[in-house]
């Protein structure tokens, strides 16, 4: 027997929402999903009229849904935003080159200008070359650090007022778990912030409009809206640490469906003791981009690659300093031997 849509629209329900348990028809689900994102934007004051907003577009489900919904809400509620797409090409053969075709489709569908920046252009390296040097054990460290800074670089080049990313509720809950397991107090509280950075601190703000949107509902929205998105997993991702946090979260969700939101709300309420030393976010003296250390992690990793010491930025800073000192000593000894030969 058909079940009536809970909204009372008179249509039959076709799904039960994973987030609320409500049974809704397709049209009411679309409206509820979009309205929740609109309410998040309004309550958190994510945008101001006239701002130029770059949507971080990877071609995946999250960024594709974000671009579509932002385009819809911008017109429906007259936000007055100038929306553009910003994509980063990490140089992963068989993955990023294909997903960028989807981003180009989004550009055409929504009429948004698109800017693509590559690791090769910014750093002189591609992820394929980096993995050939470092192996697959720490490759996600390089990619994550370089990608975060690449978005900052792209935002500055495009002269935008803020960057909107497609981080969803599942992503944030996973990050909370990862930071707890690593004991990373610096990122533990910051990872739950819906808005980071500020113009006052000379950094381009980043916002997460999908912070309270479940991944399952994002997939359903994209599927039933027939949005074009790229669904292939990164070829280097199976070994990522995040995969273990994701598997743990899915197991929790089976026994407690509200686990995702519970973890996010717990992360929002966490307070670090005043006696705990916290890194101060500033600007890197080398590249001029936001950093909580000198030089920034991206500069350290890049220096290691260029020096032939790819593990320079992996692990503690003291270990990296010893590696640099040892290499410089070896170079001095080699130069001394060459001098003596003459």
Euclidean distance between CA atoms 295 and 286, whole angstroms: 6
Q: Which two tokens stand for residue 248?
A: 């743990």
Q: Which of 232, 249, 274 is the last residue of a domain?
A: 274
Render 77-120 in DSSP notation, one character per residue: TT---EEEEEEEE---TTTHHHHHHHHHHHHHHHT--EEEEEHH
Average pLDDT over residues 287-299: 88
Is the domain of 184 the same as that of 326?
no
Residue 251 belongs to a domain: yes
Is the domain of 300 the same as that of 196?
no
Indicate if the pLDDT at residue 330 is higher than 70: no
How many CB atoms sit inside 10 A of residue 231's CB? Answer: 11
User: pLDDT by residue (tens digit) across 241-276?
Assistant: 888 899 999 999 999 989 999 999 999 988 777 777
Average pLDDT, the chain: 88
Between 338 and 134, the more confident residue is 134
Known binding residues are: 56-58, 62, 88, 166, 171
**pLDDT confidence of 33, banded at 50, 70, 90?**
very high
Known binding residues for ATP are: 56-58, 62, 88, 166, 171
The top-scoring range by mean pLDDT among 19-33, 196-210, 240-254, 318-332 is: 19-33
**pLDDT confidence of 119, banded at 50, 70, 90?**
very high
Parent domain of 327: 279-341
Indicate if the pLDDT at residue 337 is higher than 60: no
Residue 285 belongs to a domain: yes
Is the domain of 110 the same as that of 245?
yes
**pLDDT confidence of 86, banded at 50, 70, 90?**
very high
Is the domain of 330 the same as that of 221?
no
**What's the total number of domains in the chain?**
2
pTM for the full model?
0.88
Residue 113 belongs to a domain: yes
Are the C-beta atoms of 99 and 91 separated by less than 8 Å?
no
Percent of the chain topping pLDDT 90: 62
Is the domain of 111 the same as that of 61?
yes
Residue 40 belongs to a domain: no
Is the domain of 308 the same as that of 267?
no
Q: Which of 231, 257, 274 is the last residue of a domain?
A: 274
Is the domain of 100 the same as that of 240?
yes
Q: How far is CA 43 from CA 108, 199, 215, 305, in A?
A: 31, 20, 21, 44
Is the domain of 296 the same as that of 259?
no
55-59, 140-144, 269-273: lowest mean pLDDT where? Answer: 269-273
CATH code: domain of residue 164: 3.40.50.620
Residue 21 belongs to a domain: no
Residue 182 sits at φ, ψ, to 5 deg, of -90, -10
Quote the pLDDT of residue 318: 46
Indicate if the pLDDT at residue 342 is higher than 60: no
Average pLDDT over residues 307-322: 68
Quote the pLDDT of residue 321: 56
129-143, 281-295, 325-339: lowest mean pLDDT where? Answer: 325-339
72-76, 264-268, 276-280: lowest mean pLDDT where? Answer: 276-280
Between 103 and 321, the more confident residue is 103
Report residue 7 CA to chain centroid gap: 34
211 by DSSP, 3-state: which? coil
Residue 19 belongs to a domain: no
Q: Which of 274, 297, 321 is the last residue of a domain?
A: 274
Quote the pLDDT of residue 203: 83
Average pLDDT over residues 191-214: 88
Residue 32 belongs to a domain: no
Report residue 133 CA to chain centroid gap: 24
Angle, to 10 degrees, between the axis of helix 26-43 and the axis of helix 215-224? 130
Average pLDDT over residues 5-20: 90
Euclidean distance between CA atoms 233 and 247, whole angstroms: 15
Is the domain of 188 the same as that of 335?
no
Residue 55 belongs to a domain: yes
Is the domain of 112 the same as that of 225?
yes
Cis preceding-peptide flag for 165 (omega within 30 of 0): no
Is the domain of 179 the same as that of 79?
yes
Is the domain of 67 the same as that of 174?
yes
């Amino acid at each position: 027997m058909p079940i009536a849509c809970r909204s009372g629209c008179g249509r039959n329900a076709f799904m039960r929402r994973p987030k609320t348990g409500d049974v809704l028809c397709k049209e009411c689900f679309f409206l509820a999903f979009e309205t929740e994102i609109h309410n998040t934007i309004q309550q958190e004051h994510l945008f101001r009229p006239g701002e130029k907003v770059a949507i971080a577009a990877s071609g995946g489900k999250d960024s594709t849904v974000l671009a579509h919904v932002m385009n819809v809400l911008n017109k429906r509620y007259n936000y007055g935003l100038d929306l553009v797409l910003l994509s980063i090409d990490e140089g992963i053969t068989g993955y990023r080159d294909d997903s960028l075709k989807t981003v180009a489709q989004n550009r055409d569908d929504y009429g948004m200008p698109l800017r693509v920046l590559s690791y090769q252009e910014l750093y002189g390296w591609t992820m394929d070359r980096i993995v050939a040097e470092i192996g697959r054990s720490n490759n996600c460290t390089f990619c994550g650090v370089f990608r975060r800074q690449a978005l900052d670089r792209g935002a500055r080049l495009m002269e935008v007022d803020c960057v909107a990313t497609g981080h969803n509720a599942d992503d944030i809950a996973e990050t909370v778990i990862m930071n707890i397991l690593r004991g990373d107090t610096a990122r533990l509280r910051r990872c739950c912030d819906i808005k980071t950075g500020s113009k006052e601190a000379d950094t381009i703000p980043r916002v997460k409009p999908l912070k309270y949107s479940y991944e399952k509902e994002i997939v359903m929205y994209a599927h039933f809206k027939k949005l074009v998105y790229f669904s292939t997993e990164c070829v280097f991702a199976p070994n990522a640490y995040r995969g273990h946090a994701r598997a743990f979260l899915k197991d929790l969700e089976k026994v407690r469906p509200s686990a995702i939101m519970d973890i996010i709300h717990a992360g929002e309420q966490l307070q670090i003791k005043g006696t705990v030393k916290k890194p101060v976010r500033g600007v890197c003296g080398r590249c001029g981009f936001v950093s909580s250390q000198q030089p920034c992690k991206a500069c350290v990793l890049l220096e290691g690659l260029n020096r032939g010491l790819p593990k320079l930025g992996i692990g503690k800073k003291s270990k990296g300093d010893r590696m640099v000192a040892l290499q410089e000593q070896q170079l001095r000894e080699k130069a001394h031997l060459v001098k003596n030969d003459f």
